Amino acid sequence: MALYKAAGKGNGTEVARLLAAGADPDARGEEGLTALHAAAVCGHTRVVRTMLAGGASPMQPGMAGMLPIHMAAACGKLAATRLLLEAAPGTAVAVDQAGHTPLFLAAQRGDAPLVRLLTAAAPQAAVVKTVDGQETPLFAAARGGHDNVVHMLVEAAPEAAVEVSVQHGGSGLTPLLAACVQGHTAVVRQLLEAAPQAALWEQVPAPCPGLGRTLPAIFQRSQAEAALLVARLPPADSARLRAFALALHRAQHCMHIHLPAELVGRILSLFDAFDV
């Protein structure tokens, strides 16, 4: 217990003294946690380093089966997570009793530096589901509105984009629908741009505020998908787009020119007055 308390307080000198005196580095303290858990959750990197050098195991589970790296990731302790990952690279894909990887916990909190660290160590963790089969790190990030993390997950593991259209257990929600329900339009745009399945559009509510800003990227990918997007614009955005289209048509008529339909579509897709 003395080692556990010293580690939790970040008292590196006392931790080193106790270890040198023969204290068990993996002895349990409060709630069945080890001193390494206590140091990790508080982000005491000096103590984490001392504990690891003194023989503490980064593989010891604590409450709910969480390893020290789970607790460090859940609390946003980047340096401590890095140390634990270096000591035991396999912990990047370790799951607790709920099936949460450290990446899931980092994605849930929208912690981009941690997500970058963990996806670099184990990109495959991006598609690991929780034990109930309902959620992946991508789902957690989408539900939380963390568009930068969504982008990083899809970039690190392109197969994660497939999860955009996969229902998750009893919730019946996909990452895309979860983002729509929560009104996270930036995430909606990220997911639509990442996943090329036209069937995804059936999940997008109409109207969907903020969707217009992704029109250039969607048009470049597919004119058919661009039409699906336009059909889901809020009325005010649709009215502005129609007004712009009419103005462009009149300009062509006055100048006696006839632009190809694809070029007209590309020009309209660059219209930047959505959500004004």
Query: Is residue 176 within 8 Å of 203, Cβ to Cβ?
Result: yes
CA distance 96 to 67: 7
pTM (two decimals)? 0.74
Q: Which residues have a Cβ under 8 Å from the Cβ of 215 and sit 6 or more positions away?
A: 226, 229, 230, 269, 271, 274
Considering the domain architecture, whether residues 194 and 233 belong to the same structural domain is answered as no
pLDDT for position 43: 96
The residue segments making up the domain with residue 64 are: 1-97
Tell me, yes or no, whether 159 lies in a domain: yes
Considering the domain architecture, whether residues 13 and 53 belong to the same structural domain is answered as yes
Considering the domain architecture, whether residues 238 and 174 belong to the same structural domain is answered as no
CATH number at residue 8: 1.25.40.20
Tell me, yes or no, whether 185 lies in a domain: yes
Task: Count structural domains, the chain.
Answer: 3
Tell me, yes or no, whether 108 lies in a domain: no
Considering the domain architecture, whether residues 125 and 187 belong to the same structural domain is answered as yes
Closest CA to 181 of 202, 201, 208: 208
CA distance 94 to 123: 13
pLDDT for position 201: 73
The kind and range of the H/E element at 226 are helix 223-230
CA distance 13 to 63: 27
pLDDT for position 163: 66
Considering the domain architecture, whether residues 44 and 122 belong to the same structural domain is answered as no
Tell me, yes or no, whether 102 lies in a domain: no
Tell me, yes or no, whether 164 lies in a domain: yes
Considering the domain architecture, whether residues 6 and 90 belong to the same structural domain is answered as yes
Considering the domain architecture, whether residues 5 and 87 belong to the same structural domain is answered as yes
Tell me, yes or no, whether 105 lies in a domain: no
Considering the domain architecture, whether residues 215 and 131 belong to the same structural domain is answered as no
CA distance 256 to 77: 64
Considering the domain architecture, whether residues 79 and 27 belong to the same structural domain is answered as yes
Residue-level pLDDT, tens digit, the chain, 276 residues: 899 999 999 999 999 999 999 999 999 888 889 999 999 999 999 999 999 999 999 999 998 999 999 999 999 999 999 999 999 999 999 999 999 999 999 999 999 999 999 999 999 898 888 877 678 898 899 889 999 999 899 888 776 766 666 655 555 567 877 787 677 878 887 887 776 565 667 777 788 777 787 788 777 777 877 888 888 888 888 888 888 888 888 888 888 888 887 777 777 777 765 654
At residue 34, the 3 state secondary structure works out as strand
201-213 burial, b at 16+ Cβ within 10 Å, e below that, comes to bebbeebbebbbe
Considering the domain architecture, whether residues 254 and 224 belong to the same structural domain is answered as yes
Considering the domain architecture, whether residues 122 and 195 belong to the same structural domain is answered as yes
Considering the domain architecture, whether residues 164 and 235 belong to the same structural domain is answered as no
Tell me, yes or no, whether 11 lies in a domain: yes
Tell me, yes or no, whether 104 lies in a domain: no
